[in-house]
Amino acid sequence: MKMQANPELARQVLRRAAEAKVAIAEVPRFDVDDLTHELHVHQVELEMQNEDLRATRAMAEAARDRYRDLFESAPVGYMMLRKSGRISEINQTGADLLRIAPTQATLGYFESFVALEYLFRWHRLFTKCLDSGVADQCELALVRSDGTRWHARVRCQRAPGPVDACRLVLTDITDLEEARGALQQSRDELEARVQARTAEAVALRNAADAANRAKSEFLANMSHELRTPLHAILSFAGIGAAKAAQQDSGAYSLGQYFDRIGTSGNRLLALLNDLLDMAKIESGHLQFDMAKRDVAAITSDVLVEIGVLAKARGVEVAFEATTGDPTAWCDTLRIGQVIENLLSNAVKFTPSGKRILVTLSAGDLPSDAAAAEGDTRSALRLTVSDEGVGIPEGELDAVFDKFFQSSKTRSDGGGTGLGLAISREIVWAHGGTLTATNNAAGGATFVMTLPRQPMAD
Ligand code: ADP
């Protein structure tokens, strides 16, 4: 039978049920007065009430056992602490975590399980929770009754009620702590390794820089040292050739020997000049005398020298200017050196009977970094287009590398593979560009673009 919430209503229901039960039992109605009947009904009523109470009690006990079981075998440890810090109640999981019997635990103080170096932290948490009533948590190292250490996250909350007490929830985070330790260790190892590698890389870079500096200085010094006696050799070869020409009359004259000395000496001088320029570029010592210069005039001067060589090889050289303003912001000597290199290459790699065309036109260059994207600045473009062997497509950029010679011309001999590398460095230092392409009809075209105005810093 279900208990009613309203006691009066419950009583009436019970009364009716008892009356019905008496009627069903066909209790004989004696000819006694109603009182006897009333007593009987009351008795049955009481028995039924008793039965009801027993059932309710059994239900309450079952619920209590269920909750007790939930409490005892919860995955975390629960305990109640008095204000003094003494454990007044603990669940089985909590007792297991501390490795003590629950009865034993209730005799002790929680702080006796806290590792010494964590006592201050524990007291701070406990006092704060007791004083403020605000729940909080911290991580502590705890020591079990058998002396082993473990790590717990401890949540502390003041328990409701008149007596000052706190509820503690203990979660075992030993695995997490160990994983953190392992992670920290591997981080430290990694850090140490990175530092060692960085130190190694820095040492290597310093050594490489020092070697590079030493090499550049050596080249600069040696080029000077070698050039001086070479000039003497060339001058005396020249004088000797002139004198021998006056005296010789044989088929293979002394003069021809002097000419060969002179030619070889000049090649050696060109090589030394390239090495000296490269050394200067690499050590940042290449100087420029910048101003607004007439590039058409510079080109014409170079063409005078190259024209002799081209004529000797049977190659025609033409020059056209399609811009009314042939000026650029540049160094006459250095830009002359670039044009000479482009032209001497063109003559070298163009067969007899073919033509080289040099043009000057207006061009543009991408603007400096500070300006808006897509902006350009006015420039002067010089192209040297030949009808020679051309450059293999995959090597159009590599020809500007130091000591590189294309697979089409490698067997030709001569040349150092430094000319274009130096030329590009010179043009870049001017804020310009130097590129190579192939002509559809054969041969190569080199394009040098130079700014007309000085670069913004
Ligand atoms: P060098 O001419 O002394 O070898 P460069 O740096 O001036 O050095 O040129 C590098 C290489 O680029 C040349 O050896 C050649 O293979 C290639 N090259 C340069 N100019 C031309 C050209 N006009 N036509 C074909 N190949 C060229």
The answer to whether position 456 is within a domain reads: no
What are the beta bridge partners of residue 381? 361, 449
The bridge status of strand 165-172 relative to strand 149-158 is: antiparallel
280 alpha carbon – ligand 1 mean position (Å):
21
Phi/psi region, residue 12 (left: phi>0; alpha: psi -120 to 50; beta: rest), is alpha
Tokens of 6: 């309203």
218 and 342 share a domain?
Answer: no
Compute, in angstroms, the gap from residue 342 CA to the centroid of ligand 1: 8
Pairing relationship of beta strands 316-321 and 355-366 according to DSSP bridges: parallel
Rounded to the nearest whole angstrom, what is the distance from the C-alpha of residue 65 to the centroid of ligand 1?
A: 97
Cα-atom radius of gyration of the chain, to the nearest Å? 52
Asked if residue 153 is part of any domain, the answer here is: yes
Residue 386 CB–ligand 1 contact under 6 Å? yes
Query: From the first residue on, what is the mean pLDDT of each consecutive set of 10 residues in the chain (457 residues)?
Result: 68 86 64 76 90 93 92 92 92 92 80 96 94 93 93 94 87 94 95 96 93 76 75 83 72 72 82 83 85 96 93 95 94 96 95 96 80 77 96 94 84 74 95 95 96 83
Does the beta carbon of 357 lie inside 6 Å of ligand 1?
no
How do residues 290-326 score in pLDDT, each as one tens digit?
999 999 999 999 999 899 999 999 999 999 999 999 9
- Whether 442 and 309 map to the same domain: the answer is yes
Q: Is residue 183 included in any domain, yes or no?
A: no
Q: How far is residue 37's CA from residue 20's CA, in Å, rounded to a whole number?
A: 13
Three-state SS for 329-355 is: EECHHHHHHHHHHHHHHHHHCCCCCCE
| Per-residue b or e along 391-430, where b marks 16 or more CB atoms closer than 10 Å to that residue's CB | beeebbeebbeeeebbeebeeeeebbebbbbbbbbbbebb
Residue 328: CATH number of its domain: 3.30.565.10
Among 16, 45, 72, give the residue marking a domain's end: 72
Q: Which of 172, 205, 231 is the last residue of a domain?
A: 172
Distance 108 CA to ligand 1 centre (A): 93
Please name the residue whose Cα sits nearest to atom 8 of ligand 1.
Answer: 417
With a 6 Å cutoff on the Cβ, whether 405 touches ligand 1 is yes
Same domain, 319 and 337: yes
Residue 410 CA, closest ligand 1 atom number: 16
- Cα(238) to ligand 1 centroid in Å equals 30
Read off the pTM. Answer: 0.56
Give me ligand 1 centre to Cα 412, in Å: 11
Question: What pLDDT shows up at residue 28?
Answer: 57
Ligand 1 centroid–CA 286 distance in Å is 23
Give the model's pLDDT for residue 42: 87
Per-residue model confidence (pLDDT) at position 22: 74
| CATH number, position 243 | 1.10.287
Q: What confidence tens digit (pLDDT) does each residue in 212-256 have?
A: 778 777 777 777 777 777 888 888 888 887 887 777 655 557 777
375 within a domain of the structure (yes/no): yes
Nearest CA to ligand 1 atom 14: 405
Q: Is 90 left (phi over 0), alpha (psi -120 to 50) or beta?
A: beta
344 within ligand 1 shell (Cβ under 6 A): no
**Which ligand 1 atom minimizes the distance to the CA of 420?**
6
Q: Which residue owns the Cα nearest ligand 1 atom 9?
A: 417
SS3 426: helix
Position 177 in a domain: no
User: Buried (b) or exposed (e) across 60-69, using 16+ Cβ within 10 A?
Assistant: eeeeeeeeee
Give 247 Cα–ligand 1 centroid separation in angstroms. 41
| Binding site membership of 396 for ligand 1 (Cβ less than 6 Å) | no
Tell me, using a 6 A CB cutoff, whether residue 389 lines ligand 1: yes
Task: Please report whether residue 418 resides in a domain.
Answer: yes
Ligand 1 within 6 A of 94 CB? no
Angle at 215 between CA 210 and CA 219, to 5 degrees: 150
| 142/151 Cα distance (integer angstroms) | 6
Domain end position, chosen among 72, 100, 134: 72
Q: Is the CB of 443 under 6 A from ligand 1?
A: no
441 and 316 within one domain: yes
Task: Determine the structural domain holding residue 428 and report its residue range.
Answer: 291-451
Same domain, yes or no: 300 and 441: yes
Given this model, what pLDDT does residue 248 score?
61
- CATH no. for residue 113? 3.30.450.20
Q: Give pLDDT, residue 227.
A: 77
Same domain for 315 and 418, yes or no, is yes
Q: Strands of 149-158's sheet, edge to edge?
A: 87-90, 77-82, 165-172, 149-158, 136-143
Determine contact, residues 433/365, Cβ cutoff 8 Å.
yes
First to last CA, the chain: 99
Encode 161-177: b = buried (16+ Cβ within 10 Å), e = exposed. Answer: eeeebbbbbbbbbeeeb
Take atom 21 of ligand 1 and give the residue whose Cα is closest: 345
pLDDT at 217: 74
Residues 21 and 114 placed together within one structural domain of the fold: no
Minimum CA distance residue for ligand 1 atom 24: 390
* Cβ of 335 less than 6 Å from ligand 1: no
Q: Are residues 153 and 269 in the same domain?
A: no
Quote the number of domains for the chain: 4
User: Are 66 and 96 part of one and the same domain?
Assistant: no
Predicted local confidence at residue 291, as pLDDT? 95
In a domain, 179, yes or no: no
In a domain, 443, yes or no: yes
Q: Where are the beta strands (DSSP E) in 104-249?
A: 136-143, 149-158, 165-172
Same domain, 356 and 326: yes
pLDDT at 260: 81
Is there a single domain that holds both residue 238 and residue 295? no
Give the residue from 154, 153, 157 showing the smallest Cα distance to 135.
157
Whole-number pLDDT of residue 406: 85
Do 279 and 163 lie in a common domain?
no
- C-alpha 288, offset from chain centre: 38
How open is the CA angle 180-182-183, to the nearest 5 degrees?
60
Task: Report pLDDT digits (tens) over 340-373.
Answer: 999 999 999 999 999 999 999 999 998 765 555 6
What separation in Å is there between the alpha carbon of 277 and the centre of ligand 1? 17
